[in-house]
Chains A and B, each alone.
Chain A
């Protein structure tokens, strides 16, 4: 993508209707897999993977509810990328947590440390929430005791003990749900290149009430939900990105539950990913002035 790149952007219709069936197929495979996995005996890693996988599939179906022309939104009244953005960001982050807590193969101590950090975060979140909601002192003390218990268990974890003191101190605060950053997890998954990550940032900006989500949307039939090429391209690109995470999760869950049914690996190579984001960025660049 450069200032002199004037290659034609493919039709929004073609882009959208190519991506949507692929996405639906991936979701259908995922849902079928959840049914095969249900009731299977599971150890800790498998258990959390199955919880997050179901969450991923639910989020994936909710995305379809907002995709005009999908089987659950046949009327297709609203073309609105901004409403899709929070759902797709959540789906992606669920995919990251699924990999991080469930499907990535790591040593037992590391796996245990990851789980404890997630539980500590949960505990501190609840503590914060119930304090603000004016909960009873007994309830607050209960969460504080749980958090202390988790910190004690973390201290005896070998993987955690090997971490730098600065990292340990930070993690013990319970302000983060993972030891790794989003970028570090993406690196380990090998799933999004630089352009993909930038587009994920763009999705994230739309998920929050950033001016990007509404400012300068009055042009090209945008901002009112009516059918328009820009939202169609953005939705298609975001759904395509989400599809990568679903395909990856399907493959990884198949590997984690081989007895349920092995799913052929559909990992997406990072190097083939950047081309599809190029068109979206062309719109961002052209539609946002100063050019």
Chain B
């Protein structure tokens, strides 16, 4: 990344960082408060899944806060780890938005089938790696089950053949790619570029260490981190606020409304029709076993 022409002095950078951190802390506090309101509400199906996802946003945003030192702190400044959790948080926000989308019944069913298919396929891979073929075979049966459900889904039938093939191969957990979800839920030109930058830190790619300025290699406070981190925090503040708005608008009792959101209705209708995977989502893992 090029150095800006008009470089602020150290004090300005520190103030900018402190201000962004303060605002981020407030946003995380609001997210925690919203989560606390919802955690004891009875929820089923997609609403249950959205709660799990919102809890994940709370945990990731709170944990990210733990990695951000105070502006004057002499402790560890580890941009790579901040980038890693920021990326995880961004992706979790996209998935959260994906699962609280208002869609038709068939599309929501398709989303859930894709999720189950991917989830079970991951377990097949895990147990195969362990050489536990019996376990893998049991999950493989579930993979086949969800593959068949997907094939019989009207919304899925309307997708183009290439996408159908990708999804049947359990190549991802969602109907859309991350890039498509980014366009849909975080419609901002810079978002995908920021995501790409953060992704360079995910797998210890050379970009995360090769040309690190000497001042960024020892974990001490430095000008580049004072510049980069506020930008990322402000980006996340916006995304988290939008996610919280979406969660609040779910009408699942968070604002005293009747807990009968349209997605809730979809769940109930699906359960009545015997769509096993949708029904299962409203149950605890023990109950579904």
Which residues of A approach B to under 8 Å, CB–CB?
1-3, 51-52, 54-55, 57-59, 61-62, 65-66, 72-73, 77-78, 80, 82-83, 86-87, 89-90, 93-94, 96-97, 118-119, 121-122, 125-126, 128-129, 132-133, 139, 177, 194-195, 197-198, 201-202, 205, 207-219, 223-225, 281, 284-285, 287-291
Q: Which residue of B lies closest to A139 (CB)?
A: B2
**B130 close to A87 (CB less than 8 A):** no
- Enumerate the 6 nearest inter-chain pairs by beta-carbon distance, A residue then B residue, closest first: A122-B206, A62-B81, A211-B119, A93-B204, A198-B129, A83-B63
**A211 close to B115 (CB less than 8 A):** yes
How many A-B pairs with Cβ below 8 Å?
193
Decide: A211 near B122, CB < 8 A? Known: A58-B78, A59-B80, A119-B206. Answer: yes
The interface residues of chain A lying within 8 Å CB-to-CB of B208 are 55
Contact with B80, one of A90, A133, A285 (Cβ below 8 angstroms): A90
The interface residues of chain B lying within 8 Å CB-to-CB of A289 are 285, 288-289
- Among listed B193-201, B242-250, B261-269, interface-contacting one: B193-201
Q: A211-B122, A224-B58 are in contact. List 16 more A-B contacts (CB 8 A).
A: A3-B134, A58-B219, A62-B76, A90-B204, A93-B203, A122-B210, A201-B126, A209-B92, A214-B53, A214-B92, A219-B284, A225-B58, A225-B62, A288-B285, A290-B141, A291-B138
B125 adjacent to chain A (CB < 8 Å): yes
Q: Which residue of A lies closest to B94 (CB)?
A: A209
B279 adjacent to chain A (CB < 8 Å): no
The number of chain B residues touching the other chain, given as a range, is 35 or more
A51 to B284, CA, bound (A): 46
Decide: A126 near B119, CB < 8 A? Known: A58-B76, A61-B78, A209-B95. Answer: no
Which residues of B approach A to under 8 Å, CB–CB?
2, 35, 39, 48-49, 51-53, 55-56, 58-60, 62-63, 66-67, 75-76, 78, 80-81, 84-85, 87-88, 91-92, 94-95, 115, 118-119, 122-123, 125-126, 129-132, 134-135, 138-139, 141-142, 173, 192-193, 196-197, 200-212, 217-219, 284-286, 288-289
A175 to B217, CA, bound (A): 25
B236 to chain A, nearest CB (A): 14
- Of the A-B pairs whose beta carbons lie under 8 Å apart in the complex, a sample of 10, sorted by A's number, is A1-B130, A54-B219, A58-B76, A59-B80, A94-B204, A122-B211, A128-B196, A198-B130, A211-B173, A281-B130
A28 to B251, CA, bound (A): 50
The interface residues of chain A lying within 8 Å CB-to-CB of B142 are 290
Q: Which residue of A lies closest to B189 (CB)?
A: A134
Q: Which residue of B lies closest to A35 (CB)?
A: B218
Q: Which residue of A lies closest to B280 (CB)?
A: A289
**B203 close to A216 (CB less than 8 A):** no
**A212 close to B63 (CB less than 8 A):** no
**B76 close to A90 (CB less than 8 A):** no
Contact with A65, one of B67, B135, B173, B205 (Cβ below 8 angstroms): B67
A126 to B196, CA, bound (A): 10
**B126 close to A284 (CB less than 8 A):** yes
**A224 close to B55 (CB less than 8 A):** yes
The interface residues of chain B lying within 8 Å CB-to-CB of A3 are 134
**B59 close to A198 (CB less than 8 A):** no
**A78 close to B62 (CB less than 8 A):** yes
Q: Which residue of A lies closest to B81 (CB)?
A: A62
A40 to chain B, nearest CB (A): 14
**B78 close to A219 (CB less than 8 A):** no
